[in-house]
Structure formats: C-alpha cells, structure tokens
Amino acid sequence: MQSSKGRASARPFRLHRDISPGAAVVKGRRLWGVAALCVLSGSGWILTQAWPSEMAWPLAAFVHFGVIGLSGLAVPAARGGWSAVPWLRYAAAGVAGMCLFALPGATLQFAAGKVPEFTSVAAFCAVPLMTVLAANAFAARDSDASRFTGLMVPSVAGLGGALLLFPLENPGSARRWLFLGSVLGCCAVVALAGVWLHRWMLGTSVAAAVAVVGLVSAAALGAGAARTGWSDWWSVWWSVVGAKALAAEMLRCALFDLPVVWLTVWLAREVKPERLSARFFLVPVVTAAEGYAVERGPIQVRALLALGLLAAAGVMLLVREEPEELPGLRLR
C-alpha cells in the first residue's frame, strides 16, 4: 500500500485557483459588458419604433458601417496599432466582422417575406450550439471533454426554449425551404465568424479592428447599394432632403449601432466565443420582457417557460468559469 505521503509526492503539481482582485475586476467588466450588449441589442426595437429610418436598406447600413469605421480610425490607438500586428490578421478580422455584423442583415433582407420573422429568430438561437461545435472542432485534440459537455447542455436547452417560444413553421414550398436554408447557413457562418474573430483579435487593437470591420462591411454594403440604382446615392449626397436623412441616419447609428459594434468587438477579444454566444439567448429575453412591459398583456405559461429556459441557458453559458481566462491561475 502506498502511503498518503507517497501519493502526494507522485502528484507534485496541483492546479490552484488564485483569483486576485485584479482578475475579479476584469471578469466583472466582461460580465457587465455582455450584459450591456444584451440590453442594447434587445432594446433596438424601441429606437426603430420611435425613430424609423428614412433611408432604404442597404444604403442605411452602408452609412452606419461607414460611421463605425471612421469612428475607429478617429481613435489614436487605431493608427498606432497597425504596425504592431501583421496586416493579414486585421484583414481576417475584417472579413470575420463583416460576416458577424453585415451578413445577418443582408440575409434577413434577402429572406424577408419568405421566412417568418419568428422562424428567423429561432434559427439564430441555434448560433450558440453551432459556436460550441465549431470551437470544439478547432480545439486541440487533448481538450477537456467535460468542458464540451458542460457547454453543450445549456446550448441545447436554450435552443429548445427558442423552439418552444417560436415554433418553426413549414415553409410550404421548395423555394421557401431554400430561403430558410439560407438563414440557417448564415447562422453557421456567424458561429464560425465568432470563433475566427476571437482568434484573430488576440493581441490586436480594438479601435483598429473596429475601423477594419466597419470599412470592410461598408464597402460590401456600398457595392450592394450601388446596384440598386445611382438615384438613391445622388439624392443623398446632393439634395437637402437627402442630406437631412443622412444626418439623421448618422445620429441613429451613434445612438445604437456604434456602441453595439464597439462592445461586441471588444468582447470578441476578451471573452471566449462560446460564452459570448450567450447573447443570442439573452437578447430575445430582453426584447420579450420589454414588449410585455409595454403592452402589459397576459403572459402565457408556455412563453414564461420558454423565456426561463432561454435566460437560464444564457446565464449558464455566460458565468461558466474558464480556467484559461483567469490570469490568477498558477501551478504549485
């Protein structure tokens, strides 16, 4: 029989969590950042209802991302961060950011009228599950299987809550099935983009990344807007009415899209993609809670159960401890 002293000597290294006050502050900032992002994103419908856009899509989206890109360039840290990181990393982050921010809007516009709005919302609630699968596919071969299981459980539970709240409708025709497939394909690309953006953002400047993401997205959307006709462009830049609409759209961007993109890009660098994907569960909860508060209508038991599943799954993903994210970990 081996003594306890012998067993202890056979395991000389033990992993201890020594969470310093600084690490706790950093973790708290990340959690508050995700909470602020969920509240802002979930409250976007209030701005849309109170102040409708005077521009058609994608021209309005082009203006928004142009303002976002210029805001990143205006920060001195962006200009100073280019030389520290290879340009290829920023280019990859720009493409990933375009897939994360611009592609969903383009896909939803493409599928508008063919895929029900609630079905699209339920489809995007599959992004956390797809993110967990994508991150595990890119993980090392010796990655912790228990961590993967611990992330899969809330991801599946949250998707179940979304399907309970937004039941999928039968598209009814092969053409509409193709449009639904495009939405699901967009969700898969968004999940992959979240994983890639986190990898490419490590060690980069947030301001520089925001500039690249905004300008790349604006270029893609501007090309799409130009295809709709040059008359819209001419009216925006050379008419008084268009100038007023442009100023109003820039202000709408400053109130909503600008802080959302800055927060998301910062969190994409600071938080693992599986945890950040919890926002796809929590944003519908915020929107539904605000909607019920405004309408003051009765809440069905089914809706209450579904919202509870979404909220619980989002919180489980968000507060799950990741040892490699805590700077206070040490071996002794």
d(CA 264, CA 148): 24
- 311 compared with 56, residue with greater pLDDT: 311
What is the arithmetic mean of pLDDT over 168-195? Answer: 90
What is the arithmetic mean of pLDDT over 190-194? Answer: 96
| DSSP code string of 237-302 | HHSHHHHHHHHHHHHHHHHTHHHHHHHHHHHHHHS-HHHHTTHHHHHHHHHHHHHHHHH-PPPPHH
List 15's β-bridge partners, or say none: 331
pLDDT at position 158 is 95
What is the domain partition of the chain in residue ranges?
19-331
Q: What is the chain's alpha carbon radius of gyration, rounded to the nearest angstrom?
A: 22
pLDDT at position 243 is 74
Average pLDDT, the chain: 81
CB neighbours of residue 209 within 10 Å: 28
pLDDT tens by residue, 79-135: 555 555 677 888 888 899 999 999 999 999 999 889 988 899 999 999 999 999 999
| DSSP code string of 49-69 | HHS--SS-TTHHHHHHHHHHH
List 330's β-bridge partners, or say none: 16
